[in-house]
Amino acid sequence: MQARILIVDDEKDFAQSLAERLAIRQYDVTTALSGQEAIDLVAKQNFDVVILDVLMPDTDGTEVLRTIKEHKPLTEVIMLTGNATVETAIKGMKLGAYDYLLKPCENQELVEKIEKAHSRKLEHEERIREAKVKEIVSSPRSVLR
Amino acid sequence: METILSTSGEAGLVFMGQMNASISHEIKNTLAIIKENAGLLEDLTTMAQQGRAPLDPEKIKGLAQRIAKQIKRADVLANNMNRLAHSVDAPVAQVEVNEALDFMLQITDRLSAYRGAVVTCKSCREKIQLTTCPFLFNHLIWMFLSQAIEWSGDDKKIEVSVCRTPHGVRIDFAGSRQNRIPESCKDLSFQHQQLLESLGAEFQPHGPGGGFSIVIKPLTEGRNRPVK
């Protein structure tokens, strides 16, 4: 299954062209042009990977990351930064981001990170499923809880 | 040889760093857009070569226009960076105040936006020439604009306007809820006071809820001479 991706960037032309390139690579892509729009979309839909610009006018990217991780902890986040210094990206990774990339980034590198992030999410989901199955097998009554 | 520029000290260096970081960050954003659009052109061409999808001339034209738009944007940004860098060329020079104000609001636009502020400029119709230190003038505008944003509460709408006075120029910073403005210059930070003093400028609060003004007198030729 191809990853469901959300691109969050206030630069419309960037978000649109990146979305088109990822769609050509068969990903299911949605774009959000602000942090708030991203938070609203994540609340309503399930995304596997969020590509998040860390510096946007309306919201601090790390706050958006925090909210995404709070509501959808399994959704993986790749942070994009235009800063040559990576302090914000490191802060983001401490808050649970999967990885970061510096703008402008190589598409191939981004696709590789998306694939790895998606695989990690699928692994986590699988482990949760297995744990649930084990719980049901060991205690069938747990289904009723 | 020390000039008025040396009074900018560490704060001046921090200001220059902030501006350069902000402008170069925006340049990187434009480069990222150019790169993605060029990549998209390549993807579409490859797909056409492989017979997967025909090339749509309108689509190609649109992408080329996007790239051209970003090149123009990057050019403006690079020019601004260059202009800011050249503001230290002469310690004292003639500055057209409306133009200098527009320039500063333009290069700090993104920094203001990151703080949720909307800054508008009401330029004066007449040209106002002021003999001043161009670098310190730029620094002063950003320092007080930044302060106005901080004082503006939740409603971060700031209007900056300029007018000629009998002794120089007055720059007004008005916002709808600027309610924590100090009563006098003495309540400002040391950096604010030092910058005002270097430029021979004065801080004038408008009273409760009413914004503030900075009155700047022209520097005399004497100030152009080495301080020591």
| Per-window interface: B 16-75 vs A, CB < 8 A | 21, 24-26, 28-29, 31-37, 39-40, 43, 47, 63, 66, 69-70
Chain B residues with CB inside 8 Å of A27's CB? none
Chain B residues with CB inside 8 Å of A58's CB? 116
Per-residue pLDDT of chain A (145 residues; tens, 9 = 90+): 789 999 999 999 999 999 999 999 999 999 999 999 999 999 999 999 999 998 888 788 899 999 999 999 999 999 998 876 778 888 889 999 999 999 999 999 999 999 999 999 999 999 998 988 888 888 877 666 6
As a whole number, the mean pLDDT across chain B is 88
Threshold 0.95, pTM exceeds:
no
Q: What pLDDT, in 10s, does the model give residues A41-73?
A: 999 999 999 999 988 887 888 999 999 999 999
Angstrom distance (rounded) from CA B171 to CA B43: 52
Q: Which of B80, B186, B149 is nearest to B160 (CA)?
A: B149
More confident residue, B7 or A111: A111
Q: What is the ipTM of this complex?
A: 0.87
Contact flag B66-A17 (C-beta cutoff 8 Å):
yes
- Selected for mutation to probe chain B from A13, A88, A107 (highest B CB count within 10 Å) is A13
Residue B126, pLDDT > 90, answer no
Q: Give percent above pLDDT 70 in chain A.
A: 97
Classified as helix, coil or strand, A30 is: strand
Q: What pLDDT, in 10s, does the model give residues B189-216?
A: 888 888 898 898 999 888 766 788 999 9
More confident residue, B73 or B225: B73
> B127 and chain A: CB distance < 8 Å anywhere?
no
By CB atoms closer than 10 A (0-12, 13-18, 19+), residue A108 is exposed
